[in-house]
Amino acid sequence: MLKPAEPAMQPPEPGDERPIGEIVHQLVEEGKAYAQAELGVVKAIAEAKANGLKVPAILLGAAFLLLQAAVTVLAVALFLGLLALVGPVLAGLLAFVIFAGLAGGLTWQAVRMIRRDL
């Protein structure tokens, strides 16, 4: 069954109505407040995620630097190994060609995967 209307829910008397401009202004203000609250929630979520990624990003940066050092050591070791077999210029060129070829192959594979996925 339906409940009887509460006194506050009764339609206003003809002289008690608020002007439409006041109602629209209130609606706009409430909409702004809602949008600002939503923006605050989005900012808080983004900040929480960013704070959670700070340490892993630092660790990945350090790992990248160590990997770069390892590749440099490998290139120097390859050069020194070739130096015993051929002259220094040819050893340097061969080490360059080998590592440039590896980088080119990895780049080519990455581009293929990007084109396939997009």
Residue whose structure tokens are 């190994």:
81
Domain ranges of the chain: 20-117
Question: Is the CB of residue 52 less than 8 Å from the CB of residue 64?
Answer: no
Residues of the chain with confidence (pLDDT) below 50: none
Round to whole Å and give the CA distance between 7 and 70: 80
pLDDT of residue 55: 86
> Both tokens of residue 116?
């396939």
Q: What is the pLDDT of residues 29-48, one digit of tens each?
A: 999 999 999 999 999 999 98
Backbone angles phi, psi at 53, to 5 degrees: -100, -5
pLDDT of residue 4: 63
pLDDT of residue 93: 93
pTM exceeding the 0.85 threshold for the entire prediction: no
- Find, among 25, 27, 7, 29, the residue nearest to 16 by Cα: 7
pLDDT of residue 89: 93
